[in-house]
Amino acid sequence: MSDALRPTGSSPTSETSSRAILAPGYSFTSVTDKIASIALSRRTPWQWFLGALTGFALTMVLLASLSYLFVKGVGIWGVNQPVGWGFAILNFVWWIGIGHAGTLISAILLLLRQPWRNSINRFAEAMTIFAVACAGIYPLIHVGRPWLAYWLIPYPNSMSVWPNFRSPLIWDVFAVSTYATVSLLFWYVGMIPDLATLRDRAKKLWAKMLYGMLAMGWRGSARHWARYEQASLLLAGLATPLVVSVHTVVSFDFAAGIVPGWHATIFPPYFVAGAIYAGFAMVLTLAIPLRKLYGLEDFITVRHLENMAKILLATGLIVGYGYLMEAFMAFYSGNVYERYAIANRMVGPYRTIYWSLIFCNIISPQILWFRKARRSVPILFVMAMIVNVGMWLERFVIVVVSLHRDFLPSSWGMYRPTAWDWSTFAGTIGLFLALMFLFIRLLPMISIFEMRQILPAAKAAEGE
């Protein structure tokens, strides 16, 4: 055991306590108690019920919207000629983007041996899974005949025809499903030791049974730990390229099209950056209330928030560069359609959306250059919210504004989302919340054993 407990990565001894990733005064037991109790013993705060209830209510809205959709057809949405893709696809891209932070934190930061990730990776991963789940709904329901959506999967069939492997949508099927599977495995495998802990500490039988089954007989033997390390490293290795690939492939949906405003080689990198941007924004949005609600300020310290703020700033700048390049290339190409498309974003009927996007994603994050702002919890929370909105607006601009005016002016039109567009969107948010709240109530939202891993280092830091 003790081997496994040796803190990995650079010990923060030389750091001041303000940079601590674990508040002083904790012992192995106290860490475990504090986290495990949330799932097992502690009284559930009323805010949880409030949140969970909202989540479930909105999930019902989702179910209602989908039933109506299946009965009537996608005509209930605002999609039309020329805007064939509306909320469904833009929300898909938005959710997928959000679903990036988790794997990034767990996988890449694990490989980079960043111990500070230990307190946030668990629920970041959970968030990933739930976001991808929400994203996954859209491609299925946005098609005209959802009951035939399985035709996108290549399988030997009685029609003896195959899907069209040249289509980015087929690549999506593979990219997204792989990503979902690996993330799920990674998350679950990472949780096994803690599930065992919960199993051992649970008082009620049903809890013992439940956690026991999930723990799959983990005994924490050295052999288990060795296997565990192997597995998580392996999965991390698998997941890392996926983080990049998924949104790259998603960006192909647009980049492979000839629509002015879509057809750009810069899409893959700036989609990935945008995804991480959105992902961390969402992690912040969740982490800040959580640590308050469950008094976890000691585990999710200001340093965590600050690190994430830095990542926000960095990725935000990359995204900004992306926008700039788009505009420049349009001008530089001398292509009349590209030029018009960009100009149309800036001064066309949807200009307000474009400029609010610029404000949300490029202007406002600049405040994070200031240490004070990075370490101010309220500012960070507002910031994260703004970025969430901004990224959604970005997808609106890309999907809708590019389509509504393309080559032949005779076919130009407008896109107006209907109540059903909104209800479906709200519904997926509800589903996300519902799953999130279930998770924090029933599972250890912070990785217990990984916290214990960094404990000695933290202790040493105190010793200074």
Partner 1 sequence: MSDFTRLREAAGTAGPWRSLGELGASADFREHLHREFRVPIDSGVDRRELLTLAGASLAMAGLTACTRQPTEHIYPYVKAPEEVVPGEPLFYATAHVHGGYARGVLAESNEGRPTKIEGNELHPASLGGTDIFAQAFVLGLYDPDRSQTLSERGEIRPWSAFLAAARLAVGKERPGRGAGLRFLTGATSSPTFAAQMAQTIAALPEARWVVWEPAGRENVYAGAQAAFGERLEPHYAFDRADVILSLEADFLAEGPAPARAARDFASRRRGDSPNRLYVAESTPTLTGARADHRRPLTPAGIESLARAVAAAVGAISGAASSDPFAAAVAKDLLAHRGSGLVLAGEGQPAAVHALAHAINERLGNAGKTVVYTEPVLAGPPGGAAALAQLAEEMRAGKVTTLVVVGGNPVYTAPADLRFAEAMEKVPLRLRLGLYEDETSRLCHWHVAEAHSLEAWSDARAYDGTATILQPLILPLYGGKSAHEFLAAFSEQSDKTGHDLVKDFWRARLPGDFDTAWRKAVHDGVVEGTAFAPRSPSPSLRPLDAKPPGAAETAGELTALFRPDSTVGDGAYANNAWLQELPKPLTKLTWDNAALISPSTAENLGVANEDLVDLLLAGRRLTMPVWIQPGQAEGCVTLPLGYGRTRGGRVANGKGFDAYALRGSDGLWSRAGLEIRKTGGHYPLATTQHHHAMEGRDIVRTVTAAALARDPDAVRKMGEPPPGPDDTLYPKLPAAAYAWGLSIDLAACVGCNACVVACQAENNIPVVGKHEVTRGRAMHWIRVDRYYEGSLDDPLTVHQPVTCMHCEDAPCETVCPVAATVHSAEGLNQMVYNRCVGTRYCSNNCPYKVRRFNYFLYSDFPTELAKMVRNPEVTVRSRGVMEKCSYCVQRINRARIAAERENRPIADGEIVTACQQVCPARAIVFGNIADPGSAVSKARGQRRQYGLLAELGTRPRTTYLASIRNPNDALPGAAKTGGDHA
Partner 2 sequence: MQVFHRSTNTISRVSVFGAVFFLALLLWLFDALNRSPYTTLQGVARVQPVQFSHKHHVGAMGLDCRYCHTTVERAAFANIPPTKTCMNCHSQIWDQSPELEPVRASFRTDRSIDWVKVYDLPDFVYFNHSIHVAKGVGCETCHGRVDQMPLISQHPTLQMSWCLECHRNTEKYLRPRDQVFTMGYVPAARQEEIGQRLKSEYHIRPVLELTDCTTCHR
Number of residues that bind partner 2 (CB under 8 A): 13
Asked if 158 interacts with partner 2 (CB under 8 A), we say yes
Stretch that binds partner 2, among 206-214, 223-231, 404-412, 445-453 (CB under 8 A): 206-214
**Least distance from partner 2 to the Cβ atom of residue 180, Å:** 16
333 is written with which tokens? Answer: 């190409």
From CA 292, how far away is CA 121, in angstroms rounded?
A: 18
Asked if 174 interacts with partner 1 (CB under 8 A), we say no
Asked if 258 interacts with partner 1 (CB under 8 A), we say yes
Stretch that binds partner 1, among 72-80, 179-187, 221-229, 264-272 (CB under 8 A): 72-80
Q: Which option in partner 1, partner 2, none does residue 336 bind, with CB closer than 5 to 8 A by kind?
A: partner 1
Asked if 205 interacts with partner 2 (CB under 8 A), we say yes
The closest of 61, 77, 80, 76 to 417, measured between CA atoms, is 77
Stretch that binds partner 2, among 124-132, 155-163, 235-243, 412-420 (CB under 8 A): 155-163
The closest of 165, 57, 102 to 308, measured between CA atoms, is 102
**Least distance from partner 2 to the Cβ atom of residue 338, Å:** 34
Asked if 150 interacts with partner 1 (CB under 8 A), we say yes
DSSP, residue by residue, 47-77: HHHHHHHHHHHHHHHHHHHHHHHHHH-GGGS
Q: Which option in partner 2, partner 1, none does residue 78 bind, with CB closer than 5 to 8 A by kind?
A: partner 1
Q: Which option in partner 2, partner 1, none does residue 216 bind, with CB closer than 5 to 8 A by kind?
A: partner 2
Contact characters 380-419, partner 1, x per CB under 8 A? -----------------------x-xxxxxxxxxx-----
Q: Given the complex with partner 1, which of 175 and 403 has the nearer CB atom?
A: 403
Instruction: Provide the binding-site residues for partner 1, judged by CB under 8 A.
Output: 70-75, 78-85, 142-152, 161-164, 166-170, 173, 253, 256-259, 336, 340, 403, 405-414
